[in-house]
Amino acid sequence: MNIYDIAKIAGVSIATVSRVVNGSDKVSEKTRARVLDIIAREGYTPNVFAQGLGLNTMHTVGVLVPDIADLYMSGAVSYLEEQLHRSGYECILSCSGFDLERKHSHVQMLLSKKIDALILVGSTYAGSGISNTQTDYIREAASEVPVFMINGVVSGENIYCSACDDRTATKEAVRSLIAAGHKKILFLTDSGSYSAQQKMKGYQDALADAGLPLEESLMLRIHKNRIHMVRDELNDLSVSNALPSFDAVLATDDTLAVGAMKYALGKGLRIPEDLAVIGYNNSAFSISSEPELTSIDSRLEDLCKNTADTLIRLLSSGKDSEEGDLPAPEPLTLFPCRIVWRQSAVCSVDI
């Protein structure tokens, strides 16, 4: 029995239970009596996490990323730290890498710091979206503190996700490439994460709608997400005849896309005339390449703002009334992506 079980039985939020435990006057007598009765009946003993959500909050949020060197991750941390700091919360940052066991251990380490909430940045924490066993550790963490996910979707109580509609965005981008006459479109990724899977589904949707065959050899997973390593791996595959011919690239990250452009340059191909290229995340790489890269804007700043706003609202819920708390935040907020058209690919359809 924990604070979340008590809240569910009483029909109130975890913040309400915590306020009752801490003797706050921001709870109606009727609600207080109901919660105390359930606490007594269930034999619930408050722990430090329950107290942390009420008056004795540590005002500390754990932020977990797989790799802070990644531009997407470092950008997210910058946005989150600024927004949370404005509301009086400090951040504890940790980098887990991509191994499941390390993710689990880093989550446990952050929980041991008596954080008020946990933010997981990146779709790697949502696994592949296929097996729940890859995300059970997140549901376990959510039984202690609210968990917020950026760019990943995991179902479970006390888990709140902010993500972009990667599947629709990728489908629209590939549809435009097809309308421009491209028939052999390379899907280039470096991940099997939830987000990468959604992007692949969008790619497959667009091909199916156009009646084009789905060729497994045109769905390529690169081992290293570094520009020159991507270029070199494509070259090696080309030399060994393991890489089929293609006339366009849809990459799941701008770094991959720029690597593909470097490969094209070495082959003497013109962009976009001979090879159209679309990247993802609309990062600094998209405007520092030549030609500038068309890229799908995954709206990182909006995801971070929604996460911070939801977290602060949840941890500082308003006064309770006889009717109960304000509605809980939505478990999933899905944002539409935006395609930023530049010189590496031309918009050919109204999307």
* Percentage with pLDDT > 70 across the chain: 89
Spatial contact of 220 and 158, defined as CB atoms under 8 Å apart: no
- The pLDDT-based confidence of 58 (bands split at 50, 70, 90) is low
Please state the rounded mean pLDDT for residues 302-314: 93
The predicted pLDDT at position 14 comes to 72
**261 and 282 fall within a common domain:** yes
Is 329 among the domain residues? yes
What element of type H or E holds 259?
Answer: helix 254-266
CATH number at residue 39: 1.10.260.40
- Do 284 and 135 belong to one domain? no
pLDDT at 299 over 50: yes
Does residue 176 sit in the same domain as residue 155?
Answer: no
Q: Mean pLDDT over residues 157-179, rounded?
A: 95
Shared domain for 65 and 158, answered yes or no, is: yes
Q: Is residue 79 part of a domain?
A: yes
Mean pLDDT value of segment 291-320:
87
Does residue 64 form part of some domain? yes
Q: Is the pLDDT of residue 167 over 90?
A: yes
> 322 or 336: whose pLDDT is higher?
336
Q: Chain-wide mean pLDDT for the chain?
A: 88
Report the C-alpha gap between 287 and 292 in whole angstroms. Answer: 5
One-letter-per-residue 3-state SS of 120-166 = EECHHHHCCCCCHHHCHHHHHHCCCCCEEEECCCCCCCCEEEEEECH
Instruction: Kindly state whether residues 291 and 171 are assigned to the same domain.
Output: yes
- Shared domain for 96 and 144, answered yes or no, is yes
Q: Are residues 188 and 243 in the same domain?
A: yes
Exposed / middle / buried, residue 336 (Cβ in 10 Å: 0-12, 13-18, 19+): exposed
| 331 falls within a domain | yes
102 with 122, same domain: the answer is yes
- Whether 340 maps to a domain, the answer reads no
Residues 209 and 158 reside in one and the same domain: no
- The larger pLDDT score, comparing residue 348 to residue 253, is at 253
331 lies in the same domain as 306: yes
pLDDT above 50 (res 345): yes
C-alpha distances (whole Å) from 74 to each of 31, 61, 95, 151, 160 are 43, 16, 11, 14, 21
In a domain, 37, yes or no: yes
pLDDT for residue 55:
44
Q: What is the pLDDT of residue 171?
A: 97
One domain, residues 192 and 156: no
Question: Does residue 129 carry a pLDDT above 70?
Answer: no
The predicted-structure confidence for 268-285, as pLDDT tens digits, reads as follows 999 999 999 999 999 999
Rounded to 5 degrees, what are φ and ψ at 327?
-55, 140
Residue with the larger pLDDT of the pair 178 and 223: 178
pLDDT of residue 318: 43
**Residue range of the domain that includes 29:** 3-52
Q: Are residues 188 and 289 in the same domain?
A: yes
Residue 20 carries which side chain, given as an amino acid letter? V
* Number of domains forming the structure of the chain: 3
Q: What is the CATH number of the domain that holds 122?
A: 3.40.50.2300
